[in-house]
């Protein structure tokens, strides 16, 4: 999935959601970045932040040279009643500088209910 697209998942999923980060229509090379951070907001405006610097990270850089990152939700992270979730990534080239991806929009994760 491109980090500007929409995706759907089932409530309770713990499968990794992968995305490719782009800048100027080119995959961002994450080889030498300090870290990346995922920011999600649910439909009730609650904010969730995940970083590769977390003690037990739920996000990771999958393929650095190709800009592919992944988010592995816990079973209670994505709830249908709080769907859709909108988000963006912070890319930290150093510990003090960052830029967002995507720049002009947010990606969206829709959660289907479990039954």
Counting every residue written for the chain, the total comes to 115
pLDDT of 1 > 80? The answer is no
Q: What is the pLDDT of residue 2?
A: 59
pLDDT of 4 > 70? The answer is no
**51-81: pLDDT as tens digits:** 999 999 999 999 999 999 999 999 999 999 9
Name the residue with higher pLDDT: 26 or 4.
Answer: 26
The answer to whether 19 and 39 have CB atoms below 8 angstroms apart is no
Provide CATH code, domain 6-112: 2.60.40.3350
For all residues of the chain together, what is the average pLDDT?
A: 93
**29-45: pLDDT as tens digits:** 999 999 999 999 999 99
- Which burial class, exposed, middle or buried, applies to 108 when counting CB atoms under 10 A from its CB (0-12, 13-18, 19+)? middle
| Strand residue runs (E) in the chain | 6-10, 17-20, 22-23, 26-27, 35-41, 47-51, 59-63, 68-71, 85-92, 99-101, 107-112
**What percent of the chain stands above pLDDT 70?**
97
């Amino acid at each position: 999935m491109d980090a500007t697209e929409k995706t759907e998942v089932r409530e309770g999923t713990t499968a990794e959601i992968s995305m490719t980060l782009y800048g100027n229509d080119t995959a961002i090379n994450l080889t030498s970045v300090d870290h990346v951070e995922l920011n999600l907001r649910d439909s009730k405006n609650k904010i969730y932040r995940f970083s590769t610097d977390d003690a037990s990270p739920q996000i990771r850089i999958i393929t650095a040279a190709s800009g592919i990152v992944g988010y592995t939700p816990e079973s209670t992270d994505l709830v249908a009643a709080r769907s859709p979730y909108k988000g963006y990534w912070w890319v930290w080239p150093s510990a003090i500088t960052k830029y967002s991806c995507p720049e002009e929009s947010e990606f969206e994760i829709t959660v289907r209910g479990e039954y």
